[in-house]
Amino acid sequence: MNQESACCGWLEDSKNDGMLLSPTEALILMARVPLAVFVLILLAMSVPLQHSFGSTRTLDFFLFPDGSTHVTYSLESDPLLPDTEVSLYGDSVENLVTEDENGFPLTTESKKNILQVETLGSSNILINYDTYSLISKDGKIWSFEINSPVEFNVVMPENSVIVGMSTFPIDMNVDSDRTKILLPSGIAEITYFLTVAESSQVLPTDETPVSEGDNSMMYVAGGAAVAIAAIAAIALKMKNKPKQIVSTSQTTVLEKNEPFNIERVLQMPDIREDDKEIIKFIHENGGSALESDLRKKFLLPRTTMWRAVKRLERYELIEITKKDQQNLIKLTNVEDDKNE
């Protein structure tokens, strides 16, 4: 009896020795594998839903006499994530250009002051745009105000005199007649005035010989005058007075409903010569042209051409409309059959 049971046990052991898994273990493994695969699928589906905020490397603000600000900054992004969210400075954004570290344009989608950039595979983002909402004006005093989480540079307009600053700068220098200021993170406000208007013309004066001694006295007197003006402006400035959004008024060349007269426009002394060339090209093109065509014709960068277009719009010489997601520039008061 004992021999038979021993023989049967040996036979069962020999059968199990030829199998990698017993039937019971195989069933348990088959039950566990689908669960593990299901967990992996959930993890894979959750990855595209992740996004991150870019980490700012550099941030620069370039101020111009017409009240516009060109913003440029570089940010780090995680190349493994599909998109990155970036905070924009200013309520209105124009001429937005977003590129990766190789200069390739990136797809973006903006919601209020948040820009969502598709950055899968990109480790660096370069953003450039223009805005008119960072500068305000009260009388002759201009004010630039910003709240930045990192250190940033501010490049002042040409012929500008700073009369107030809410924080101490980290560094300050002059490059190409423009003051460059490095400011710490946080809220900062800079007030200034322009010594020469953008559209003003310099009247000829009689030249008289001036000695070196007279030059030094003139410099001292000029510095004292600027210091007195700065103190007076700071003393008269009212912090609680509501600010007025910049609206630079220009002389209207043509009256309302008056037909467009190209000869009259080209003779206007207060319009820049390069702007007259743009007007002439649009007129010869049938009274309208895309902004991209103007950039190709005059070989100008996007921001430079946009400022020229905005100058002409303030003169009420052109109208800016949208056509197929592009800016269409049209001369004002031109007959419709000329625009077709």
Give 51's pLDDT tier (boundaries 50, 70, 90): very low
Q: Is the pLDDT of residue 69 over 80?
A: yes
Q: Is the pLDDT of residue 278 over 90?
A: yes
Please state the domain extents for the chain. 2-48, 52-198+229-237, 262-339
Q: 38 or 57, which is more confident?
A: 57
Which residues, in sequence order, are bridge partners of residue 61?
A: 71, 154
- Pairing relation of β-strands 69-76 and 55-63? antiparallel
Taking residues 25-47, what's their average pLDDT?
58
- Ramachandran sector of residue 263 (left: φ over 0; alpha: ψ -120 to 50; beta: rest): alpha
Q: Is the pLDDT of residue 296 over 70?
A: yes
Q: What percent of the chain has pLDDT over 90?
A: 25
Q: Is the pLDDT of residue 316 over 80?
A: yes
Q: Is the pLDDT of residue 177 over 60?
A: yes
Give 25's pLDDT tier (boundaries 50, 70, 90): low
DSSP 158: T
Which tens digit of pLDDT belongs to each residue from 201-260? Answer: 433 444 444 444 445 555 555 666 666 666 656 655 544 444 444 444 444 445 556 778
Taking residues 80-99, what's their average pLDDT?
87
Which tens digit of pLDDT belongs to each residue from 140-162? Answer: 899 999 999 999 999 999 889 99
Q: 30 or 201, which is more confident?
A: 30
Q: Which of 64-78, 109-123, 195-209 has the highest mean pLDDT?
A: 64-78
310 and 272 in contact (C-beta within 8 Å)?
no
CA-to-CA separations, 330 to 192, 252, 257, 273, 280, in angstroms, rounded = 35, 16, 15, 19, 12
Q: Is the pLDDT of residue 323 over 60?
A: yes
- Pairing relation of β-strands 326-331 and 288-290? antiparallel
Reading the block at residue 253, the tokens are 């060349």
Give 84's pLDDT tier (boundaries 50, 70, 90): confident
User: DSSP labels for 226-252?
Assistant: HHHHHHHHHHH--TTSPPEE-------
- Pairing relation of β-strands 114-118 and 141-148? unpaired
Q: Is the pLDDT of residue 308 over 70?
A: yes
Q: What are phi and psi of 80, to 5 degrees?
A: -85, -15
Predicted local distance difference test score (pLDDT) of residue 270: 82
Predicted local distance difference test score (pLDDT) of residue 329: 92
- CATH number of this structure's domain 52-198+229-237, picked from the four choices 1.25.40, 2.40.70, 3.40.50, 2.60.40: 2.60.40
Of all helices (H) and strands (E), which one includes residue 108?
strand 108-111
Predicted local distance difference test score (pLDDT) of residue 169: 93
User: How many Å separate Cα 38 from the centre of its chain?
Assistant: 44
Sign of CA dihedral 88, 90, 94, 95: negative
Q: Is the pLDDT of residue 59 over 50?
A: yes
- CATH number of this structure's domain 262-339, picked from the four choices 1.10.10.10, 3.40.50.150, 1.50.10.10, 3.40.50.1820: 1.10.10.10
CA-to-CA separations, 263 to 82, 211, 254, 256, 309, in angstroms, rounded = 55, 46, 12, 17, 19
